[in-house]
Structure 1
């Protein structure tokens, strides 16, 4: 199914010829129509011409013949290959390396002869073969700094030799012969038609397209069975996976094209997700998840709210959304996830993602959406330094972003690992930092792990939520506000350097009963000071304490809280603070506009 969907997408892409790949080419051999080199040095000796410049220091990108090769005697590629093959440049000064370079050059010329044999009327084929038959290539001056692994291409009379139609045809035939299966003809698993079957997948996934932990990427193969222990009944290669040469090359070519397109990929620390549609549209689904840009989210909601106009022929010909998550293990591709769903369902999952994590920020009146990568990053360590503060890059779990992306694409029914909530709770307790990304992720994980909380956990403070953890968090926030207002300097309006939140938050969310009792005793002296200096604030905060203890239904706070309870404690604490701050901002704005507003519970800190 995966290979089939990739092959079906090929008509929507501008792909190079079969078994061609975009590569960086560093050197050029430019020939005239008689096969003589045009570029010479000051002494008149032929030399390589560079294809590098300031904008392309690694060479010019060209679609050239390419196939995955391995073994003790790797075969050549037609026309565009390394200096070892084209000019017999040895890898080192040893006799063995020199002999191997000669072998590769002989094999390279033999492949050129096959091209010339099948393209007798092709002037470029005649010119290239004349150049090598005269052994002019052995007299070409190789610039200092050139490496045997550098790629070199040939151009005849201003035209790239490998772009000739005859060259593409001969190369396809050559690769099919090299990679062809012993079974010969058969029905392809991908397209369902009879064709020439492959023994191995000819084209690999390009090195660097899939992230790897050590940064040492290499070409990887989408399907690889080269040991008897890996195959069914001890059979290796594609013996049990019949794939024709057309589908084998096209599937990987489409995948490489998607992996190279920013708008169709999402790279994380250890994987990459590519997506495409059965019928391409302008929808940027993964970008809306990754960046949470308002315009992308609005477009997503519009597409769902107006299905008859937003999606062409939705009922008779539904569009489909495909997403493929890959990682790499040595030279093999690892398929981590595969999604094939109607586009409307994928959009509904994305909307559920935004609704489940949307939450009020301390600094914004309206609930906010958060970029997926920021929620993954907030699972790491927070640091504050004189040069700046932020999350330490790389301190989050390496699989966090991939896990969150799977949650977003698979919808509310996809249960995330409990370890994510445990990790978030641990990080909040360790560095005492609460911000929008952490609270958005906390709300998301609570709703996905405990769907029954959807009726009570809201983007803003739900004053009717009677869960003991939420009430304890709100109590703690109220005690912190009492301390802040009681100890605030009347001149500078600054509160204490250290609050009860700085000192006791982690302990209070784990053991609410003893900590809140201790803090309540301390708050009594602060309430007396407020009663004397700020009766309005005393009255409102004292009433809130009574209301919260009443909601506990006369029972004391829990002695301990599990991870769910601690998360709800944090949620209640944060939302109470956000609610108080929003009320203070609104009251201040009303007062500045000449309105009559009662004093807010909280002044801005």
Structure 2
């Protein structure tokens, strides 16, 4: 399914002129070898371009559309019309002259095979070059002297003849495309392609995929069989899951195109996330990408998303978006020299947006003054499960993948999300250098608790506590205890202005787990604090305490379960935010 979707996307990209034809691809090139009529090397010229790196401008290879390079491991495999000095000249800077000669022989054989029936001046010049070139004489050749060291360092070289690049010769291009499409690299074995369903030569080793963070910079394989345990029926490598050369080229080209578009590539844990619409319109990616950024809050975009969620078409970024358009989301994680699929999701574009909107509605909770947006972002939710003072501040890769799947599929949130938040609430202490910063029940954590129990119902966390703001009518004992704790903390702060450490620092965890043990002590402490207050404040707080304690009965619960602790935490958050809201109104 993944390969089929990517292959279809490649066909769209090719029609739009954004992807190369089969057998061609982007290659970094640094130097041109100018050939004469008899195949003689007349001169070498740099085609590097100036590139800004930091404050400096440095020469960098130029990216050109050339015959698709082969995927190399440890063997000798030549590319056509573009390669490094080992293959094109038979010399290298690694001190392995014998291997360089083997590379040159392989390159010569490939060009003779592809160009044997091409009768053009450029083809004859290339063949003459390989027949007459003497690798041992290369160090003394005057044309190579100026760029000798850089050429030996691994720079790619291409041919130029009679004022034009050899790879632009129409006859040579047709010869390469015939060779690429009709001579499988497994000796010509033909099998039924699992992607297209057509019979043809299979690709034994698929092209590399580049741009996945954490994977090898030279590229990694999405489909790979490299050990006997993965193989069956005597088939080697990718013949265990036969994919035609055309399909292998198509899906890797499409995936590399997506990964190279850095504006629409995102990180979730260790996963690199890409997404695309079946039509190939970039506006779908821009709209969907707002889930990972702050642009979701922009009024114009919110209006567009609202229309799409209703099933109506909407215009955005000069494109008409269709809610019924097929849309795909792919998450890839690095795994040595291969890639693992963290998740692959398919839905209509409108379906994904509706699920995202439902997630945002569940997150909606009264926000503090410092919050800039209506609901926490996906990244901030994951950050809320991690100790931000630790060296590694990244959320669990498994949690990140599960979380994104739950949001996009509108399925229950993973239990690891609740576990992560609970652990942070229990473990977190006030930052001594910044005592004003919120801790334990932050906005993000309160939003997670509300969203989690809204989507994962529990009888101990009734709907009456899963409100956006304070619900004073709630009769939930855990929720009311959380409210009471907040009021007791408020009384302590009022009686001791400027206090750095409150009862939350010492008693919050035990109060939410074993109320019967802690609350009698806290209530007695509050009575002492009330005596310090002026009569008006004292009466006000006594009435507030009375209104809350009347709902608790005569005894405090001995223990609260984990869901009940969640209700307690929401009660504390709601009551605390109501306290600050009233202060702002006054």
Shorter-chain TM-score: which interval?
A: 0.7 to 0.9
Closer/same/farther in 2, CA of residues 126 and 563 from structure 1, 3 Å limit:
farther
Residues 1:442 and 2:442 aligned together: no
* Pairing partner for 1:152 from 136, 149, 157: 157
Partner of 1:338: 344
C-alpha contact 1:195 1:245 (8 A) present in aligned 2: no
Task: Tell me the SS of whatever aligns to 1:368.
Answer: coil
Which residue number in structure 2 is paired with residue 267 of structure 1?
A: 267
Aligned residue among 474, 481, 484 for 2:490:
481
Which residue is 2:55 aligned to? none
Q: Residues 163 and 561 of structure 1: is their aligned pair in 2 closer, same or farther, counting only changes over 3 Å?
A: farther
Q: Which residue of 2 aligns with 1:505?
A: 508
Contact 2:269-2:396 at 8 Å conserved across structures: no
Counterpart residue number, 2:528? 525
Matches of 2:372 and 2:149 in 1, distance apart?
63
Aligned partners of 1:507 and 1:515 also within 8 Å:
yes
- Distance in 2 (alpha carbons) for counterparts of 1:555 and 1:235: 76
SS at match of 1:336: strand
Match of 1:430 in 2: 427
Checking the alignment, whether the CA contact within 8 Å between 1:199 and 1:238 is kept in structure 2 is yes
2:566 paired with 1:567 = yes
Q: Structure 1: where are the runs of 5+ without partners?
A: 40-46, 384-390, 489-494, 588-605
- d(CA) in 1 for partners of 2:413, 2:582: 35
Alignment-derived partner of residue 49 in structure 1: 46
Aligned to 2:101: 102
Alignment correspondent of 2:328? 322
- Alpha-carbon spacing, 1:76–1:549, altered in 2? closer, same or farther (3 Å): same
Deviations 1:131-180 (A, max 9, x none): 44442772223433555433223333554333444444444444456645
Alpha-carbon shift at residue 520 of structure 1 (Å): 1.0
Residues 396 and 240 from structure 1, CA distance in 2 versus in 1: closer, same or farther, beyond 3 angstroms?
A: closer
Distance in 2, Cα, partners of 1:89 & 1:371? 54
Equivalent of 2:126 in 115, 128, 141: 128
TM-score, length-scaled by structure 1 = 0.82
Q: Is the 8 A contact 2:79 2:107 kept in 1?
A: yes
Q: Does 1:382 align with 2:388?
A: yes
Deviation at 1:447, TM superposition (A): 2.9
- Secondary structure, in 3 states, of the residue corresponding to 1:154? strand
SS of 1:307's partner is coil
| CA distance in 1: counterparts of 2:229 and 2:41, whole angstroms | 52
CA distance in 2, matches of 1:54, 1:307: 45
Residues in 2 aligned to 1:179 and 1:22: alpha-carbon distance in whole angstroms: 21
Distance 2:451 2:91 in 1: 59
How far is 1:303 from its partner?
A: 1.7
**Residue number in structure 2 paired with 1:354:** 360
Counterpart residue number, 1:455: 463
SS at match of 1:382: coil
User: The residue matched to 2:425 in structure 1 has which SS?
Assistant: helix
**Cα separation, 1, equivalents of 2:193 and 2:42:** 47
Correspondence list, 1:307-318, <5 A: 307=312, 318=324
Residues 184 and 178 of structure 1, relative CA distance in 2, 3 Å threshold? closer
Counterparts of residues 31-430 of structure 1 (less than 5 Å): 31=35, 37=41, 39=43, 47=44, 49=46, 51-55=48-52, 57-70=59-72, 72-90=74-92, 92-93=94-95, 97-121=96-120, 123-135=121-133, 138=138, 139=141, 140-141=144-145, 142-144=147-149, 146-176=151-181, 179-180=184-185, 184-192=189-197, 194-206=198-210, 209-212=211-214, 216-233=216-233, 235-281=235-281, 282-283=283-284, 284-293=286-295, 294-295=297-298, 296-305=301-310, 307=312, 318-363=324-369, 368-383=374-389, 394-411=393-410, 413=411, 415-430=412-427
Shift of 1:105: 1.0
State the secondary structure of the residue aligned to 1:90: coil
C-alpha distance in structure 1 between counterparts of 2:176 and 2:351, whole Å: 43
The answer for unaligned runs of 5 or more in structure 2 is: 53-57, 430-438
- Pairing 1:472–2:481 present: yes
1:197 to partner: Cα distance: 3.5
The number of aligned residues is 550
1:34–1:232 distance in 2 versus 1, CA, 3 Å: closer
Q: 1:370-412: per-residue Cα shift (whole Å, max 9, x none)?
A: 22122222322234xxxxxxx865353244433322222121x
Relative distance call for 1:254 and 1:462 in structure 2 (3 A) is same
When normalised by structure 2's length, the TM-score is 0.84
Change (3 A) 1:551 1:262: farther
| Distance in 1 between residues matched to 2:450 and 2:391, nearest whole Å | 22
Distance change in 2, residues 1:226/1:301 (3 Å): same
What CA distance in whole angstroms lies between the structure 1 residues aligned with 2:242 and 2:387?
49
Q: Distance in 1 between matches of 2:184 and 2:221?
A: 13
Q: Residue by residue, what CA displacement relative to the aligned partner does 1:487-509 show, whole Å, maximum 9, x if unpaired?
A: 22xxxxxx212211223223322
> Could you say if the C-alpha distance between residues 35 and 373 of structure 1 is closer, same or farther in structure 2, counting changes exceeding 3 Å?
farther
CA contact (8 A) 1:48 1:143 kept: no
Q: Distance in 2 between matches of 1:524 and 1:572?
A: 22
Per-residue deviation, residues 395-437 of structure 1 (Å, max 9, x unmatched): 53244433322222121x2x33322212222122222324333
RMSD across aligned positions (CA): 3.1
Q: Which residue in 1 is equivalent to 2:435?
A: none
Number of the residue aligned with 1:591:
none
Separation in 2 of the partners of 1:431 and 1:59? 50
SS in 2 for 1:359: coil
Post-superposition shift, 1:481?
0.7
Q: What is the rounded CA distance, in whole Å, between the counterparts of 1:28 and 1:568 in structure 2?
A: 70
Q: Match of 2:558, SS?
A: coil
Displacement after TM superposition at 1:77 (Å): 0.4
Provide the C-alpha distance between the structure 2 equivalents of 1:90 and 1:441, rounded to a whole number of angstroms: 58
